Amino acid sequence: MDKKSLRKKVLEKRSKLSKKDIIEYSEIIANKLYEMDYYKNAKRLMSFISFKDEIHTHEIIKTSISEGKSIVVPITFPERKELKVSEVLDFSELEIGFYDILTPKEEFIRFVDPSTIDLILMPGVVFAKDGYRIGYGGGYYDRFLSKLDKKVMKIALAFDLQIVDTVPTESFDIPVDIIITEKRVINCSEK
């Protein structure tokens, strides 16, 4: 199945999750993340800001801030297809931006050098067990990751229904290291 068809199929499945399930599964996934040494040892964490029926990351961001971690979130520049990261000190610094996704208010934008990130929480639509993913089609993350040290830990947060055996890949695709779902933790390097 091509990327577009796979994306559509999984988005349809994900849209059928109830609000109750999304909240419950998100909490299970967040708790698994908090238990990981990668999370515990991370000083600067990059997290996507969830929207619609994605796994909720709002509590992860708030918890991480309250634990004294530096949290950076993506800001997209659609005209340049570019992604930059900005530090968030409080969740109230966010407002609705492009694609109806929360983004830092202009007065709270604090761009940060991406090379200072220890851990990246990755969004996506479809994930293969080998760590390759299908995003929303903009290519923002692959371009961003291509400039970072390959050793930076990339953890995808997803519902189990988003996991498939394989996805079509291209030369510029960069896999994640670990996928956390409500049912399992997949170490992609072991696949």
- pLDDT reported for residue 191: 53
CA distance 12 to 162: 11
Distance from CA of residue 149 to its chain's centroid? Answer: 17
CA distance 154 to 22: 22
- pLDDT reported for residue 78: 82
* 123-147 pLDDT per residue, tens: 999 999 999 999 988 888 989 999 8
Q: Please classify residue 132 by burial: count the beta carbons closer than 10 Å to its beta carbon, then call 0-12 exposed, 13-18 middle and 19+ buried.
A: buried
Q: pLDDT tens, position by position, for the chain (191 residues)?
A: 889 999 999 999 999 999 999 999 999 999 999 999 999 999 999 999 999 999 999 999 999 999 999 999 999 888 888 899 999 999 999 998 877 789 999 999 999 999 999 999 999 999 999 999 999 888 889 899 998 988 999 999 999 999 999 999 988 889 999 999 999 999 998 65
Give the torsion through C-alpha atoms of 65, 69, 74, 75, to 10 deg.
Answer: 70
Residue 128 dihedral angles phi and psi, to the nearest 5°: -95, 155
How many distinct structural domains can be found in the chain?
1
Helix ranges (DSSP H) in the chain: 3-15, 19-35, 37-41, 58-66, 140-145
Measured from the Cβ of residue 145, the count of other Cβ atoms closer than 10 Å reads 21
Residue 113 dihedral angles phi and psi, to the nearest 5°: -65, 120
CA distance 124 to 109: 24
Domain limits for position 58: 3-190
Helix ranges (DSSP H) in 67-160: 140-145
- pLDDT reported for residue 138: 83
* 97-115 pLDDT per residue, tens: 877 789 999 999 999 999 9
CATH number, domain with residue 10: 3.40.50.10420
